[in-house]
Structure 1
Amino acid sequence: MRLETKHTIRYATLLVLSCLLVSTALAQSTRKLLRKGNRFFERGNYREAASYYEKALAKEPANVKVLYPAGVSYLTFDKEKAADYLYRVQKLEPDFDRDLDYWLGRVNLINYHFDTAIEHFQEYQEELPKRYAERHEEVKRLIQNAKNAKQEVANPKDVFVKNLGEAVNTLYSEHSPAISLDDNYLLYTSRSEKATGNQEARDGEYFEDIFETKRTSEGEWDKPSVVAGELNSSVHDASIQLFDNDTKLLMYRSENNGDILVSERGAGGSWGKPRSISDQVNTRDFEADAFITPDGQTLLYSTSHYSKNGDLDIYMVKKDEKGNWGSPISVGETINTPYDDDSPFLARDGSLYFASRGHNSMGGYDIFVAKFDPVANKWTVPENLGAPINTPDEDTYYRLAPDGSYAYLTSYRLGGFGETDIYRINYIRNVNVSGQVLSKADGTSMPEVELVFNGMQANKHPISYRSVSDASLANYKVDLLSGRKYQVQFLKDGKLIGEQEFEVPLVLDEATTLTQNFYVD
């Protein structure tokens, strides 16, 4: 399982359960339901745990011993409900558990209430005994995540993030899109009930399988199906990257603690039996994700093998003259942090995109980009791609299109279908606007009128564009950032002669044109 979707409750589950010892004061039927829920909670099967907690709450809706683990469970698939339940615990019994402020901090962070999250984390730190040094360090990091998130959300980028929809995404986890060169064939990974064998893993989701779908003539994704042949097994299998003109697939399999494999497409279009990419890459430890360059000579991949504390770092191998993979080399401490660094993707312009829980993350994995400086012989300091690409939760598996006009992303964010979903990211484009400046009174042309278009970027920073109608037919032409309103000022000989509002529709493709005539008094 490459993407740990249960990340929000990796810590302190034992402390949660320690305060949930089933009391004899509870009704027998409630005790039985709570015990069953707690057993699933211990296994990391939070969805099933929540179902038993809900049955108990139907009998005793104000029972904090049930509301508390239910709220923590919902963090993994229903953020709003998690907040509701945890705040009900605080209202009913503020001193119920010393970790309550910790969980309230986490639920506020992922629900974009950053100042409130910081307050809860700080209150928790003040009460937490000093002997819990690791927890103190974690909470310090979470406070910084909240500060980073507040900064990024206040300064969003001009991008459009769209869920791929219910044809692909389900209540379960979908992730790791692998896109064909023509963008009409999609391989991706799902843990839904449609997976091969219908076999549940310990955490209640189904074992990962690789699915495929094709784009219809209307531009939507067709009904997906599990990839036939030998790609999928009885363990976790996940897509990574199509390469070599879409004839080969990099993939992940959870055998041997997690390895990177390669499958080749046969003449009939079916995928062959996957094989290990190389013993130089795969080890006894966790290899999670990879990217191979178009020439097939360089592989970037994430591994825990060389880490002191078991986190993922990004390494690189190159082929020698005989076509064999050489020794792994770290991409360096500028990229790799003491936290997980994963999901490398090298764009055609040399930019390295990757996911990291370190650097200035907003919380969980964020997508970062860095460029290689040939003079300094090292990577530049990674830049957070910011909101709305990144969220305070998990954002990973960023796959940029060859022309850089769009990307795909895996994310657990508000408004999704359940757990992680696959999204498409489009960078908002300029539109070429042209037309004439005409007199409102009689429709005659008005040459040499200056047009000033004043608008706002997504981060509320002002933008301004200028054009002048020509001397013959009063034609003007200007490139405007799409998807916003502009206040257009008309000036003649430096004097304001008119002002109008002009709304430019959202444009996601290059070379879009728009005709607009302006009539001025």
Structure 2
Amino acid sequence: MKTNLTILVLFLSATMLFAQDKEVKKQIKAKFEEANYYYQYDNFHLALPVLLDILKLDSTNIDAIYKTAICTYNTKRNKQESYKYFEKAQLEFKESYFYLGLLNHDNELFDNALDYLIKYKNWDGIKKYSNDEVDYYMNKCVYAKEMMFSKINVNFQVLGDSINTEYLDYATVLLPDESLMYFTSRRSGGTSDLKDPLGEYYEDIYVSHNKLGKWSAPTLLTAPINTTLHDACVTITSDGQELYIYRTNADLSGGDIYLSKNIEGTWSEPEKIKSDINFKNSWTPSASISPDNNYIYISSNREGGFGGKDIYRVTKLPNGDWSLAENLGSAINTPYDEDAPFIHPDGKTLFFSSKGHRGMGNYDIFKSILNEDGTWTAPENIGYPLNSVRDDIYYVATPDGKRGYFSSNRKGGVGETDIYSVDLLDNPANYILLRGTVSTNDPVFAPVKATISIIDYQTKELQGIYRTNAENGKYLMVLLPKRKYKMVVESEGFFSVVDEIDMTKKLRIEDIFKNVTLQRLKTEEPKEAPVNDNE
């Protein structure tokens, strides 16, 4: 009797286990159908949670393990989270070798990375990635090892939690005198504090002030600059009066560059730029305006380029409109992505980030110089440790070239992507900041909103048009040394002032701090241009 009871219990247990196993398999099948639907259309962020549910039911399902690895790699900012899945899947899914190579490279384990990439290259199965692509990443490993043995002389530091957060902080836009910095952040506490379909906070623009060499706690810009959509800073004119931003459309399917003007201390409603800067069915995420406001350098993935995102230049026409975008050519652009252009205040040194030129990471920072004949020098990698094995992008530099700011997702930061400052210790000063105020004492002291034209005495060419700050009358401009300029200060209702700026001789303090006082026009007097006698 006891034996029969034991047999009955075992039978019932086996039956229940069989039923449970059948139910689990049924659940796994249903979830795989859902996951595979998302997976086939590369909707990895939707497939990932379903695949993780499958692994909770069956942690040994190798198909789910591999697809979880792919989804994690393509959706997570920290791609290293995918390593454990690729490692488990590599025997059944040889495509894992390729990803393990890239992940080891990101950990600066270059020999391990090369071993995995060679395994992938020697595998005779059907591959997703060509041998040329494998060679591209192998060359990055080799070049990274070389660069790390020849460091450039720099000091750099993450700006700390006064600027950076645990989230993404990037895309610095800087005034030439480093008094003000705008940047983009995807932190909590933004305009809407909502998350996009990928589970990340929407982009917002923040501003920080430089107080005695330290950046203040950033302030979130209010409407009309920030909205409930993605709003990112792009570039600013050297006088700080015009801010270019990138804003997505309502369904997040695309976006355009907008312009906002500082009117008496308040940013105007951003207006979409009606020119070839914004191009249909394409993406233009980055731009940089030249110091004379006559050129805008943009990155765009529009048709007709060399591949991925290319860098283009748009020229201001005599009527004030912008020209068609001109691709900078094969000297700058490659079949891979080039992004984040920054034209230095000298108007001829272009910094940008590239995946295609010889580099050690995903995006490396490069510089190229515009020749007199309109061609560009071969891009130069600005070196390690400024560049790393990760993404280094959005480089901007001060006029003297001694300091820069950039964004990176390298190890050792505060958050997922951080803003860094870097002091370039071997870089000489080449450019001079001229600043001052324009005001009137007629009848009482008051700042004046004025336009300042700078003309080269020798070539007679207009070097730039600058505007004073309407609130305090201050202006700021960047000039080349050892040149002589004519300075024309104009404001409606005032006599114009013409002055000389002579940088061919030894500079005095009044040569780099130049205040101008304007006299009001009398209705019965003709407008003339007296020589300025106050410096």
TM-score by structure 2 length? 0.66
Q: Is the aligned partner of 1:166 residue 2:161?
A: yes
**Aligned CA distance change for structure 1 residues 189 and 411 (closer, same or farther; 3 Å):** same
Contact 1:33–1:56 (CA under 8 A) maintained in structure 2:
no
Alignment of 1:144-183 (within 5 A): 144-183=139-178
Work out the percentage of aligned pairs sharing the same amino acid.
29
Contact 2:259–2:273 (CA under 8 A) maintained in structure 1:
yes
**Aligned CA distance change for structure 1 residues 325 and 70 (closer, same or farther; 3 Å):** same
Give the one of 418, 421, 425 matched to 1:421: 418
Structure 2 counterpart SS, 1:186: strand
Alignment of 1:16-27 (within 5 A): none
Q: Give the match for residue 186 of structure 2.
A: 191
CA distance in 2, matches of 1:38, 1:224: 43
Contact 1:228–1:270 (CA under 8 A) maintained in structure 2:
no
**Aligned CA distance change for structure 1 residues 348 and 226 (closer, same or farther; 3 Å):** closer
CA distance in 1, matches of 2:22, 2:375: 62
CA distance in 2, matches of 1:254, 1:153: 39
Q: Is the aligned partner of 1:99 residue 2:90?
A: no
- Structure 1 residue 307: Cα displacement: 3.3
Q: Is the aligned partner of 1:351 residue 2:349?
A: yes
Q: Give the match for residue 207 of structure 1.
A: 202
CA distance in 2, matches of 1:190, 1:345: 19
- Structure 1 residue 205: Cα displacement: 0.8
Give the one of 224, 228, 234 matched to 1:234: 228
Amino acid at match of 1:423: Y
CA distance in 1, matches of 2:50, 2:146: 37
Q: Give the match for residue 525 of structure 2.
A: none
Q: Give the match for residue 316 of structure 2.
A: 319
**Aligned CA distance change for structure 1 residues 171 and 39 (closer, same or farther; 3 Å):** farther
Alignment of 1:58-69 (within 5 A): none
Contact 2:176–2:238 (CA under 8 A) maintained in structure 1:
no
The CA deviation string for residues 101-130 of structure 1, in whole angstroms up to 9 with x for no partner, is 111101111111112112111111222546
**Aligned CA distance change for structure 1 residues 327 and 79 (closer, same or farther; 3 Å):** closer
CA distance in 2, matches of 1:51, 1:308: 38
- Structure 1 residue 55: Cα displacement: 11
Amino acid at match of 1:419: E
Q: Give the match for residue 106 of structure 2.
A: 110
Aligned residue pairs: how many?
A: 399
Contact 2:236–2:289 (CA under 8 A) maintained in structure 1:
no
Amino acid at match of 1:109: H
Structure 1 alignment gaps of length 5 or more: 1-22, 431-521
CA distance in 2, matches of 1:293, 1:152: 31
Q: Give the match for residue 412 of structure 1.
A: 409
Contact 2:294–2:315 (CA under 8 A) maintained in structure 1:
yes
**Deviates most, 339-348 or 305-314:** 305-314
Q: Give the match for residue 446 of structure 2.
A: none
CA distance in 2, matches of 1:82, 1:237: 30
**Aligned CA distance change for structure 1 residues 244 and 409 (closer, same or farther; 3 Å):** closer
**Aligned CA distance change for structure 1 residues 115 and 165 (closer, same or farther; 3 Å):** same
Alignment of 1:376-391 (within 5 A): 377-391=374-388
The CA deviation string for residues 367-417 of structure 1, in whole angstroms up to 9 with x for no partner, is 111112225x41111111121111122111100112211111111111123
Q: Give the match for residue 247 of structure 1.
A: 241
Q: Give the match for residue 282 of structure 1.
A: 278
Q: Is the aligned partner of 1:367 residue 2:361?
A: no
Q: Give the match for residue 443 of structure 1.
A: none
Contact 2:350–2:367 (CA under 8 A) maintained in structure 1:
yes
Contact 1:343–1:396 (CA under 8 A) maintained in structure 2:
yes
Contact 2:306–2:330 (CA under 8 A) maintained in structure 1:
no
- Structure 1 residue 300: Cα displacement: 1.1
The CA deviation string for residues 306-351 of structure 1, in whole angstroms up to 9 with x for no partner, is 4357611111122222222223222121011111112111223422
- Structure 1 residue 235: Cα displacement: 2.5
Q: Give the match for residue 483 of structure 2.
A: none
Contact 2:349–2:367 (CA under 8 A) maintained in structure 1:
yes
**Aligned CA distance change for structure 1 residues 93 and 371 (closer, same or farther; 3 Å):** closer
Structure 1 counterpart SS, 2:263: coil
Structure 2 alignment gaps of length 5 or more: 1-20, 428-535
Amino acid at match of 2:358: N
Contact 1:213–1:222 (CA under 8 A) maintained in structure 2:
yes
| Structure label with greater radius of gyration | 2
Structure 2 counterpart SS, 1:287: coil
Q: Give the match for residue 329 of structure 1.
A: 326
- Structure 1 residue 182: Cα displacement: 3.2
Amino acid at match of 1:154: F
**Aligned CA distance change for structure 1 residues 194 and 56 (closer, same or farther; 3 Å):** farther
- Structure 1 residue 37: Cα displacement: 9.2
Q: Give the match for residue 445 of structure 1.
A: none
Give the one of 261, 266, 287 matched to 1:264: 261
Q: Give the match for residue 438 of structure 1.
A: none
- Structure 1 residue 170: Cα displacement: 2.3
- Structure 1 residue 131: Cα displacement: 6.7
Structure 2 counterpart SS, 1:378: coil
Give the one of 113, 121, 124 matched to 2:120: 124
CA RMSD of aligned residues (A): 3.5
- Structure 1 residue 224: Cα displacement: 2.3
- Structure 1 residue 202: Cα displacement: 1.9
**Aligned CA distance change for structure 1 residues 390 and 353 (closer, same or farther; 3 Å):** same
The CA deviation string for residues 112-168 of structure 1, in whole angstroms up to 9 with x for no partner, is 111211211111122254674x54432222122222222212212111221111232
Amino acid at match of 1:209: D
Alignment of 1:19-58 (within 5 A): 43-45=43-45, 49=48, 53=52
TM-score by structure 1 length? 0.68
Q: Give the match for residue 224 of structure 1.
A: 218
**Aligned CA distance change for structure 1 residues 170 and 234 (closer, same or farther; 3 Å):** same
